[in-house]
Structure 1
């Protein structure tokens, strides 16, 4: 956190330490959903010609690597 003051960083880490595990998982799930949405939006922006199916295949390759995505989503 280069753009964060030492005091703000201290408060942030204190909040994380005090947060119950279920809340940490909830926050993590929200962040993961946001990342998926952002990466799909980026793919759509760079490749507007792709169908929804092709977009999902490209996303799988981005998220899991081409080899694993090819194995997991060969029928996609």
Structure 2
């Protein structure tokens, strides 16, 4: 198998892959959920840093634009104020 990550020793990488394959599906989904929450938290933090006076609603709208794109966010949430 080719190395997936150039910064990980092939033996360690093989062990990681083996452990992930043995992991139950619910655990894999929990990990993905945690990663999604982390990304969302970081995105919100970035929005608040760039727009410190934004209301919680404005932050939610800006997050929606990041996630959905401007057109879909407009269809779902209406026009930004």
Q: TM-score, normalised by structure 2?
A: 0.83
- The residue that corresponds to 1:69 in the other structure is 73
Could you give the per-residue CA deviations for residues 30-54 of structure 1, whole angstroms, max 9, x where no partner exists?
A: 1111111111011111211211111
Cα distance in 1, alignment partners of residues 64 and 6 from structure 2: 31
- Please say which structure displays the higher CA radius of gyration: 2
Which of 40, 43, 51 aligns to 2:44? It is 40
Cα distance in 2, alignment partners of residues 56 and 28 from structure 1: 22
- Give the superposition deviation at 1:24: 0.8
Could you give the per-residue CA deviations for residues 13-64 of structure 1, whole angstroms, max 9, x where no partner exists?
A: 1111111111111111111111111110111112112111111100000011
> Runs ≥4 in structure 1, deviation > 6 angstroms?
none
Cα distance in 2, alignment partners of residues 67 and 75 from structure 1: 10
Cα distance in 2, alignment partners of residues 6 and 47 from structure 1: 44
Cα distance in 1, alignment partners of residues 6 and 42 from structure 2: 23
Counterpart mapping for 1:3-42 below 5 A: 3-42=7-46
Gaps of 5+ in 2: none
- Give the superposition deviation at 1:6: 1.6
